[in-house]
Amino acid sequence: MLKKPPGIEDIFPDAMEKWDHVTGTARDVFRTYNYKELIIPVMEYTEVFARGLGDETDIVSKEMFTFEDRGGRSLTLRPEGTASVVRAYVENGEYNRLASCKLFYCGPMFRAERPQKGRLRQFNQFGAEFFGSENPYHDAEVIGMMDAISRRLALAPYAVLVNSIGCPDCRVPYTEALKSFYTSHSARLCEDCARRLEKNPLRLLDCKNESCRALRAEAPVITAFICGACRDHHDRVKGHLSQAGVSFTEDPFLVRGLDYYTRTTFEFVTERLGGQNAFAAGGRYDGLVEQFGGKKTPAVGFAAGIERILLMLGDQRAPERRLDVYIVHSGGDALALAARTAAALRERGIAADLDPDAGGFKSQFKKADRERARLCVIVGEDELREGTRSIKDMGSGEQASVPADAAADRIGAMLKGSASLP
């Protein structure tokens, strides 16, 4: 038997109901905030992520699926969406000329992490990116948008952690302070952190190693180093969040494991996920568009892990998805009429199914039950003879016979709730 690689999952139709509920809710909320969907490629030149996310990040240094194409160019399966969206935005003259731009995406990401509950090698995100303003209103709007999705999906209890990691200017004294703190405790650092200390001391704050985590509690906090403009920005983000009724907690160590962030960083966390406690996260990245060759364009966004949200929903049922109509027939000539009925229903946008190899009526009704069909249409010997169709309401058990050519309209009206049996 052939098997799938570790950390990669198949998603079967029974799981799709909840999946569609999650992504459909996100799409609905994105639409109400005027975000428009884009589809970004699953792979990019490696440089997009190496430059965008930072060489010293865990993702770039050890988690990317990178390979050479036939021409010897290095390609990488996208580990996240932001760098790709920025690359696409900069490359697309029409969009990057707009004063501002609201985009969202949904799809698989790839990270060679050690698989465990809530941590996959192929996982799915929905995410949103706003381009064009450094107004703190937008930071709060993006956080509020994920909060709205979380509330609609009833994900509570969860917490929204927020922080500001300042701009490149105020980060200079902060990284110096971190460097000197960690240098004086270098014996307690893991191998990776000992290496990263010189080049990128900020990354030590998000190391998952136990000893480094313990050390972090004593490390200097960004709050003491942040410049006036960044402090004002952060205060205004918090003000907008309060006005919008979004509860949040400040976490001065929330630096996020990606180099592109400036100022605001945030995470949606829950204890219900165990070790992998973040189900959505994001922040501001005012320098990335310019770094990718575009004109200076401030930006802010977030992404959420769909599988983690599904874990949080647990056994909670998604709104039931039912088949509209199952067609029960007696074979032979009745099969041709059953197929014609199915085609007429589908033309009207009604979902219909039948089994050409059907056995007796009893086993066909069983199949209808399994598909949770709302209605059954029966095409048997009586209906053939009389030029009728029998419609059975699977909820009430009521059944009535209607002229064959009126059946599809009647069914359409019944499904809309504007007609009933008999």
What residue ranges bind ligand HAM (CB under 6 A)?
A: 80-82, 111, 113, 118-120, 123, 125, 127, 129, 278-283, 301-305, 307-308
Residue of closest CB approach to ligand HAM: 305
Q: Supply the minimum distance, in Å, between the C-beta of residue 127 and ligand HAM.
A: 5
Q: Which is nearer to ligand HAM, 203 or 308 (CB)?
A: 308
Tokens of 55: 């060489």
CA distance 133 to 139: 10
Distances (CA, A) of 68 to 45, 61, 75, 89: 10, 17, 6, 25
Q: Supply the minimum distance, in Å, between the C-beta of residue 78 and ligand HAM.
A: 10
Distance of CA 379 to the CA centre of its chain: 44
Q: Supply the minimum distance, in Å, between the C-beta of residue 306 and ligand HAM.
A: 8
Q: Which is nearer to ligand HAM, 201 or 257 (CB)?
A: 257
Helices (H), 167-270: 168-184, 191-199, 210-216, 228-243
Q: Supply the minimum distance, in Å, between the C-beta of residue 30 and ligand HAM.
A: 13
Which amino acid, residue 9?
Answer: E
Q: Which is nearer to ligand HAM, 260 or 326 (CB)?
A: 260
Tokens of 103: 């985009």
Burial of 159 (0-12, 13-18, 19+ CB in 10 A): middle
Q: Which is nearer to ligand HAM, 148 or 281 (CB)?
A: 281
Sign of the dihedral defined by the CA atoms of residues 249, 250, 252, 256, in that order: positive
Q: Supply the minimum distance, in Å, between the C-beta of residue 343 and ligand HAM.
A: 42
Q: Supply the minimum distance, in Å, between the C-beta of residue 88 and ligand HAM.
A: 14
Q: Which is nearer to ligand HAM, 81 or 136 (CB)?
A: 81
Burial of 411 (0-12, 13-18, 19+ CB in 10 A): buried
Q: Which is nearer to ligand HAM, 225 or 279 (CB)?
A: 279
